[in-house]
Every structure is written in C-alpha cells, then in structure tokens.
Amino acid sequence: MKKAIVLTADKFEDMEVYVPIFRLLEEGWQVDVAAPKKIEISGENGYSLMPDKTIDQVNPDYYDLLIIPGGSPDGAPATVRKIKKAQEITNSFFEKNKPVASICHGPWTLVEADVVKGRRLTSYWHDGVPEDIKKAGGIWEDKDVVVDGNLVTSRHPMDLPFFMREVMKMTGK
C-alpha cells in the first residue's frame, strides 16, 4: 500500500487538503495528516479534521508522497513553513527524489527548506509567494500546474483537477 503524508495546520485551505486526500484514498492509498499538535484543526471554509500525528512524529522514510497544501498567508502555510521538522521532511523527500506536491501558499515550505533553487514551480500569485520563490532561486511560472522532476505545484483550488492529475501520473496511477 502506498502512503502519503499531508503537512498542514490550523486555517488550512479546505479543498487543497480534502481533494488530494479523497483522490488518494480512492486509489487505495494510506493518507496521514500531520499538524503541529494532535488537536483538531479547522479549514478556512468550515471543515475541520483531527491530525493523525504531529509533524515532529513524521518519519519521511515511511511515506511515498509528500503533500503541502495552502491556506491564507497567515494560516497553515505560515505555520508549517517555520517548523524545522517540516523543512527536514521536505529535504528528505528531495534528497531521495520522492514525489512532492504543493499548492497555493504551500511552496513557502519548499522555500524555507531551500529546495527550489533552479526548479520550475508555481504558487499563489500574491502575498509574496512568487517573490520568495524567485529570491530562493526558483523559476516561478504562472500556470495551472508545473511539473519539474519529482515536484508538482499549482496556484489555487481551481487548479486542483490539473494538480491531482499530475500527482497521480507521478505516483504511478
């Protein structure tokens, strides 16, 4: 059974968390959600969930896919990007060339993990995300989905069909 880990926190973008989870579950994946604490977290649009584990408990070697969804600039992405263990998990996936999928403000964690230099990717258009990607040496593109090696990125919830199509291709579906 393939296993995915989703790194998020309170004030996540509901669709960017739930659509990937549901799509992967449909294909028989085990999907775990990790947050800073193992307490219920809420999405910006009213959905909530109980994380399976804390980010500190995640062993990246156990997982086949890393998903870093977005949320508002002062919500989940701002929280996750500052967590050293989230950066270490991201680095581990890149070092092993395992699939990483990030959408909206999620690429902020990629910037903090210092894995975007020379890589093509996209993100939300505002709130400084493209500028942070460029400052970190990434090549930002305004497209619904960008695939660069083991990395799939998209801009916002309306890109989820394109995002998940490429995630599923990359993971062997």
Structure tokens given for 72? 């508002």
Provide the CB-side half-sphere exposure for 158 (13 A, CA): 3
Residue of 11, 23, 81, 105 with catalytic role: 105
CA-based angle 7:21:66, to the nearest 5? Answer: 40
Rg of the chain taking only CA atoms, in angstroms: 14
User: Which single residue is written with the structure tokens 């990434």?
Assistant: 138
- Annotation says 105 is catalytic: yes
- Annotation says 156 is catalytic: no
Residue of 6, 65, 104, 113 with catalytic role: 104
Report how far Cα 54 is from the mean position of its chain's Cα atoms.
16
Q: Is the dihedral of CA 164, 42, 109, 2 positive or negative?
A: negative
* Residues with active-site annotation: 104-105
